[in-house]
């Protein structure tokens, strides 16, 4: 499976399956499989806009973003994006959709108007744009560049890159909107870098016992969750002490 998103209104989970080219839909309360949505092409990333009842899926092989009606679970559209689209994230307040295009000869970030399905801007970046996260409090998007070792900071109001934070070999990214902190996982250095969203500076790093990949945060419990694919392990980090468990 690749890509996971939850609709907070319906508590439904959407999981991308790149083996049979489908999106599995689960009930978040019972964990029961409700069904599968066919018609995607090697899904990579999944994101939900609960305000519009839309699910977005990046399709690696077709260079498109699939639009799904969350009420009917039917595919209602397809939007061309860049080469090898990877991570996707949504700002449900502005309905902007951000797609990181990994690329073959060059990477880019596609920004889409979720109400009109128009690509409003494509921003070229260095090779291997990977994952995306959005701070809903500041309407700022963060895109990791794996090969470039850069975290691209995008002002969602003006759709401009306002900063590039150096962090080696990063892939996964998560945002703490309460404290305005960004957590990025470095596969190359087995660390999680912590970036201050006010200054766009790396303020500390957390050493991991295995290679980190994806990250997610619960700012209210102050816990950071990190997957280590090589070790087949999910780690929980207490951010008050940075202790890894």
Q: Determine the Cα–Cα distance for residues 22 and 32; give it in Å rounded to an integer.
A: 17
**CB 109: neighbour CB atoms within 10 A?**
25
Q: Is the dihedral of CA 238, 98, 96, 154 positive or negative?
A: positive
Residue 105 in this model has a pLDDT that exceeds 80: no
The pLDDT mean for the chain works out to: 95
Mean pLDDT of 55-63: 96
In terms of Cα–Cα distance, which of 122, 55, 137, 53 is closest to 89?
55
Tens-digit pLDDT profile for residues 111-120: 999 999 999 9
Residue 122 in this model has a pLDDT that exceeds 80: yes
The confidence score (pLDDT) of residue 185 equals 97
Tens-digit pLDDT profile for residues 15-49: 999 889 999 999 999 989 999 999 999 999 999 99
Residue 82 in this model has a pLDDT that exceeds 90: yes
Residues 23/15, Cβ–Cβ less than 8 Å: yes
Contacts of residue 228, Cβ cutoff 8 Å, sequence gap at least 6: 208, 209, 210, 211, 212, 213, 234, 235
Mean pLDDT of 163-182: 96
Tens-digit pLDDT profile for residues 140-169: 999 999 999 999 999 999 999 999 999 999
Tens-digit pLDDT profile for residues 190-231: 999 999 999 999 999 999 999 999 999 998 899 999 998 787
Residues 126/101, Cβ–Cβ less than 8 Å: no
Read off the pLDDT band of 106 (50, 70, 90): confident
The confidence score (pLDDT) of residue 149 equals 95
In terms of Cα–Cα distance, which of 188, 190, 150 is closest to 169?
188
In terms of Cα–Cα distance, which of 153, 179, 109, 136 is closest to 49?
136
Q: Determine the Cα–Cα distance for residues 221 and 73; give it in Å rounded to an integer.
A: 32
Read off the pLDDT band of 5 (50, 70, 90): very high
Residues 177/183, Cβ–Cβ less than 8 Å: no
Residue 91 burial by Cβ neighbours in a 10 Å radius (0-12, 13-18, 19+): buried
Read off the pLDDT band of 232 (50, 70, 90): confident
Read off the pLDDT band of 245 (50, 70, 90): confident
Mean pLDDT of 161-185: 96
Which phi-psi region, left, alpha or beta, contains residue 216 (left: φ > 0; alpha: ψ -120 to 50)?
beta
Residue 187 in this model has a pLDDT that exceeds 90: yes
For residue 105, which phi and psi values (nearest 5 degrees)?
A: -110, 5
Residue 1 in this model has a pLDDT that exceeds 90: no
Pull the structure tokens for residue 122.
């494509």
Contacts of residue 30, Cβ cutoff 8 Å, sequence gap at least 6: none
């Amino acid at each position: 499976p690749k890509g996971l998103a939850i609709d907070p209104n319906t508590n439904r989970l959407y999981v991308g399956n790149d083996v049979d080219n489908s999106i599995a839909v689960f009930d978040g309360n019972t964990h029961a499989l409700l069904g599968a949505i066919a018609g995607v092409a090697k899904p990579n990333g999944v994101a939900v806009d609960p305000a519009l009842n839309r699910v977005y899926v990046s399709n690696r092989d077709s260079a498109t973003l699939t639009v799904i009606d969350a009420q009917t679970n039917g595919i209602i559209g397809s939007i061309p994006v860049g080469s090898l689209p990877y991570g996707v994230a949504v700002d449900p307040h502005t309905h902007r959709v951000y797609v990181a295009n990994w690329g073959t000869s060059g990477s880019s970030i596609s920004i889409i108007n979720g109400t009109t399905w128009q690509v409003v801007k494509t921003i070229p970046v260095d090779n291997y744009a990977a994952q995306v996260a959005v701070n809903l409090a500041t309407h700022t998007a963060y895109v990791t560049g794996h090969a470039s070792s850069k975290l691209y900071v995008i002002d969602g109001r003006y759709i401009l890159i306002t900063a590039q934070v150096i962090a080696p070999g990063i892939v996964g990214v998560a945002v703490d909107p309460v404290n305005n902190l960004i957590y990025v996982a470095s596969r190359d250095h087995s660390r999680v870098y912590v970036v201050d969203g006010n200054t766009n500076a790396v303020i500390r790093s957390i050493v991991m016992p295995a290679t980190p990949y994806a990250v997610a945060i619960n700012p209210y419990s102050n816990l950071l969750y990190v997957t280590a694919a090589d070790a087949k392990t999910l780690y929980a980090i207490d951010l008050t002490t940075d202790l890894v468990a």
